[in-house]
Copies of this chain bind each other. A is one copy, B any other.
Amino acid sequence: MGRWEPDARGRLERSALELYAERGFDQTTVAEIARRAGLTERTFFRHFADKREVLFHGSHALEELLVDAVAGAPDTAAPMDAIATALDVAGGMFEERREFARRRNAVVAAHAELRERELIKLASLAASLAGALRGRGVAEPAASLAAEAGIAVFKIAFERWAGDADGPDLPRLMRESLDELRAVTAGA
C-alpha cells in the first residue's frame, strides 16, 4: 500500500459528481471537491485540466471503443453501416451503466459550460470516427459527413433515452433514429 489512499482520481470524480448534483456546478468550489476526496485543490488540478473535465474522463475510453467498432466492421459494410455498428456498441455501453449515465447526464444538462464540454467531446469523437472511416477507404467529405451524421443520431437518441426512463433501450433508440435520419434525408 502506498503512502496515500489509492485511486485519488476516482475519489475526485465521485466527489465532484456528488457535489455538482447536490448543490449545482456553480455553487461547488474545487477546494470543496478536493476536501471531500481527502486531497487538496492543487492535486485536483494535477489530475484534471479544469473544473469541468472531471466529469469527462470516460470519454476517451468511449472514443477508443467506437473507433475500434468502426475499424472492425465487415469490409463489405457501407460507411453508414460501419457507423451503425459503433452506435450499437455505444448504446450497449451506456445501457450497462444506466444509473450512472443518467445521473451524470442530469448534471451536465443543467449547466451550459458542461454542455459545451460535452459538445467538444462529441466533436472530437466525430473526428476520430471520420479518421476510422478514412482508414476503411472512405474519401472526404463523405467520411466526415457520415461521422457527423452518426453523432447527430447519437445525440438525439441519447437525449430521448435520458429523458424517458421507461422508454425503449438505447440501442433500439439509436437504430430508430438512424432509420428516421435515412428517411428524412432521402430523395433529391
Contacts and interface: CB of A to CB of B under 8 A. Distances in A.
Contacts of A184: 79-80, 142, 145-146, 149
Nearest to A179: B188
Given A112-B120, A120-B116, A148 B142 contact: no
B185 A141 contact: no
Contacts of A146: 184-185
Please tell me how many copies of the chain the complex holds.
2
Interface of A: 78-80, 112, 115-117, 119-120, 123, 141-142, 144-146, 148-149, 151-153, 155-156, 160, 177, 180-188
A111 to B, nearest CB: 11
Given A120-B119, A185-B80, A186-B186, A145 B180 contact: yes
22 contacts: A79-B184, A112-B120, A116-B116, A119-B120, A141-B180, A142-B183, A145-B152, A145-B156, A145-B180, A145-B184, A146-B184, A146-B185, A148-B156, A149-B149, A149-B181, A149-B185, A151-B152, A152-B152, A182-B185, A182-B186, A182-B187, A182-B188
B141 A160 contact: yes
A160 B117 CA distance: 24
